A and B are shown apart, each in its own frame.
Chain A
């Protein structure tokens, strides 16, 4: 069961309690608001084309993507080997369908498919009346009602291009229920529905107004519990109104945290750089059955009697004692290179 919408009954309750709780303005949106919605939806479309990465600071949620991505970090971003290209998924499933998903308290996502036969059929049915018809999404606020197609609390239209297949809908109403139709709107205003979506409920972006009588919690006390640890930046899960509201209450309940003093994690930097290291390669050869020791430690010979070792060099003087003995220990040869390095 979806939660009852936030704004129903809230006004009443607020008046009664005379508390300064935030209120979402009105249930019926004006034509102007409707226009704004359209504009926002258009902006959103732009945003989708040119996604902007919003970098956050401080919010607890911000840390996780990098850390979680570390699970999948192998050091390379683009891989070549064994990369097969998966075949494409079907373009369409040949059905009239529209589906609604919740993105967050303020936004829904909708995807749809309209059969071309259906479009042709509608064209044929309405003939000239179809001229200038527009494909639209009609979103209905169906909070707290049994929706019969006509009794929505409020609805608005979004014009969609026929080549679009999905849309993010800015409903801006936490704690409300929605469904959406796709269809054609004729010039005379007639709406021809093609498909109706499932119903979804946006989550609340603030504490519930329902407080059990017996368990009544004073706002300031709750605010102290509520505010603990939340960031109130742009990434906060808390809606704007409550963020403002809380700031009045929260003086400093969460300041007992004293973490480490550092100022944050360095990301990989891409500026100019130079690294230079030196390594020393010691190589040589002896009889394949001989025993060779370097620093007194046995070295494995290649089948042809050669050997090769490498050492990272640091500044200073280093002696490298090399000793070889035949299998029967009847002889012994030593060579000790002395290498020194100085770095400026």
Chain B
């Protein structure tokens, strides 16, 4: 009989990046790389496990923006082109490295990976939602939802804005999965006391908090982060376990920094002769990452040794064993301390697996197999499964918190990005005004379309990703432009609708550009 539960959560999200106006848009590669390096490898691991009838339970966010990109025909076709180009490059690399054993092996590894990515992608008719949906229906995955565009709840300005982020997301989820999501990932794990009531209204049963969101809850939680608490609204909140988080997340102590693992920052897009690599970098001749990375981390200096797939694989197996060993010690200790079975909640960014930590999907595969075959101290559960087995929990009000640097809102509210909120809040206020003014009457088709588009623009401007990127100080201009573009489009619609001067041609153009959430209803902003 097990002594504790283990719940693994992968948070899959990317902001909505889709630029039909350009054939080749740099930031779209965020999505393409995520498919090749994270989502296809995860699907492959999960499918193999399912095929071998190995028990596992993983909870996974697929954010509404990520789902929308998975389902978008333009991006689907562009990914096929993208992966074909990579396969071509890998083929050339296999030839070029003929005299160079280690690199030749690497080129072959990438050729195999890219080919697999293409095959999986095409096997599902270019729609990667299908395999995730199947894995959910087979009982392996619990797919949860997230803010419509990953808006940062504590800074959105009011509850109506939070309600729209939740409602639009839940409706979108229903249209894809045929039922409401049981769980919800608060964007950036950011909780504000306004939000659990809104989750309740939308049928959500649970969400996650960073550790101090639970530990600082009031009244004091008896079991710390090792059991969920119920908010007054009746929605359960699960706290992040820091011990297991640190082993994977930490850049100092974490597994992904092991010297045998693949180095993220060295890419053939920068390392190879310009003329040779030119067809595979940006068409304007700017070197960018291709995804073919030949070196292992090696050490602290610039000197890098070639990557060795087999050594890294062995290391990933070691690390999976170490992780499980530590969970056993932790669970045994807690079981005695608490007098009941603890739940260890370990959430990670999905892209940590594969994109940043190349060996992550293998590690996960080893971990799940070890949990299945080698032990019975812990059991993998989804939070909903836990709640079904343990319905009685303490009632407490969580504390405002996020999983960002320093634990609160500062990452998204600092000198470089605080200018956003004045404009976001104004747009929120205006959206509210429009919804109240037009929502109860019959408006003509073009006005209706304008109002819906206004909401799309507002939601897209709210993505926490823009403030995050601006705050980190790199790659800033794209995020600044996205924030401004959506707000300006919103403002123009507002003015046009109010003065009854809608430019239908322009409206059509931005409906085509920002085509997320086709069935959105602006009345969600009515109050």
Residues of A within 8 A of B (CB): 1-4, 47-48, 51, 56-58, 60-90, 93, 99, 101-105, 107, 109, 111, 113, 165-166, 201-212, 215, 217, 221-222, 224-226, 228-230, 235-238, 253-254, 256-260, 262-266, 268-269, 271, 273, 275, 279, 295, 309-314, 316, 318
Contacts and interface: CB of A to CB of B under 8 A. Distances in A.
A314 B409 contact: no
B405 A61 contact: yes
B269 A228 contact: no
A205 B218 CA distance: 12
B257 interface: yes
B506 interface: no
B411 interface: yes
B284 to A, nearest CB: 4
18 contacts: A56-B405, A60-B245, A62-B250, A69-B469, A74-B27, A74-B288, A90-B423, A207-B220, A211-B219, A237-B407, A260-B257, A264-B251, A269-B302, A279-B276, A309-B96, A310-B276, A312-B97, A318-B99
Pairs A-B, 10 closest by C-beta atoms: A229-B242, A237-B407, A225-B224, A208-B218, A203-B400, A104-B408, A86-B484, A75-B289, A256-B329, A210-B219
Contact of B246 (A72, A90, A257): A257
B389 interface: no
Contact of A76 (B287, B297, B299, B426): B287
A260 B223 contact: no
A71 B65 CA distance: 15
Nearest to A3: B218
Contacts of B472: 65, 69
Interface in B412-460: 413-416, 418-419, 421-423, 425-426
B219 A212 contact: yes
Contacts of A312: 96-100, 103
Given A67-B256, A222-B224, A311-B98, 13 more contacts: A3-B193, A65-B405, A71-B30, A75-B269, A81-B26, A104-B407, A208-B216, A238-B212, A256-B326, A256-B330, A266-B301, A310-B96, A312-B96
A273 B300 contact: no
Interface residues of B, number: 123
Given A77-B475, A103-B413, A226-B224, A309 B95 contact: yes
Interface string B243-265: 10111011111111111000011
A113 B425 CA distance: 13
B193 A60 contact: no
A64 B407 CA distance: 11
Contact of A208 (B220, B226, B264): B220
Interface of B: 14, 22, 25-27, 29-30, 34, 95-101, 103, 154-155, 157, 193, 210-212, 215-220, 222-226, 241-243, 245-247, 249-259, 264-265, 267, 269-271, 273, 276, 282, 284, 286-289, 297, 299-302, 319, 322, 326, 329-330, 333, 337, 349, 351-352, 355-356, 394, 396-397, 399-401, 403-411, 413-416, 418-419, 421-423, 425-426, 465, 468-469, 472, 474-475, 477-478, 480-481, 484-485, 487-488, 491
B158 to A, nearest CB: 9
A221 B99 CA distance: 63
Contacts of B399: 3, 203-204, 208
A4 B218 CA distance: 9
A75 B154 CA distance: 32
B366 to A, nearest CB: 15
B219 A208 contact: yes
Given A64-B404, A68-B468, A310-B96, A257 B326 contact: yes
A87 B211 CA distance: 41
A156 B400 CA distance: 24
A71 B355 contact: yes
Nearest to B192: A102
A51 B465 CA distance: 21
A79 B255 CA distance: 32
A101 B265 CA distance: 37
Contacts of B95: 309, 311
A313 B480 CA distance: 45
Given A99-B425, A257-B247, A72 B242 contact: no
Contacts of A257: 243, 246-247, 253, 326
A225 B286 contact: no
A79 to B, nearest CB: 6
A151 to B, nearest CB: 23
Nearest to A299: B95
A67 B243 contact: no
Contact of A217 (B22, B222, B422): B222
Contacts of B352: 67
Contact of A64 (B22, B249, B288, B484): B249
B478 A89 contact: no
Contacts of A3: 193, 218, 397, 399
Given A89-B488, A101-B421, A237-B408, A82 B25 contact: yes
Contacts of A90: 423, 491
A58 B250 contact: yes
B216 A205 contact: yes
A232 to B, nearest CB: 12
Contact of B477 (A48, A83, A237): A83
Contact of A229 (B101, B245, B423, B491): B245
A91 to B, nearest CB: 10
A235 B477 contact: no
A51 B415 contact: yes
A217 B99 contact: no
B246 A66 contact: no
A165 B422 CA distance: 10
A309 B222 CA distance: 69
A97 to B, nearest CB: 9
The CB with the most chain B CB atoms within 10 A, among A57, A64, A212, is that of A64
Contacts of A226: 215, 224
A83 B286 CA distance: 14
Nearest to B275: A310
Given A102-B409, A225-B226, A166 B418 contact: yes
Nearest to A275: B271
Given A256-B330, A266-B300, A73 B289 contact: yes
B286 A80 contact: yes
Nearest to B210: A237
A5 B442 CA distance: 47
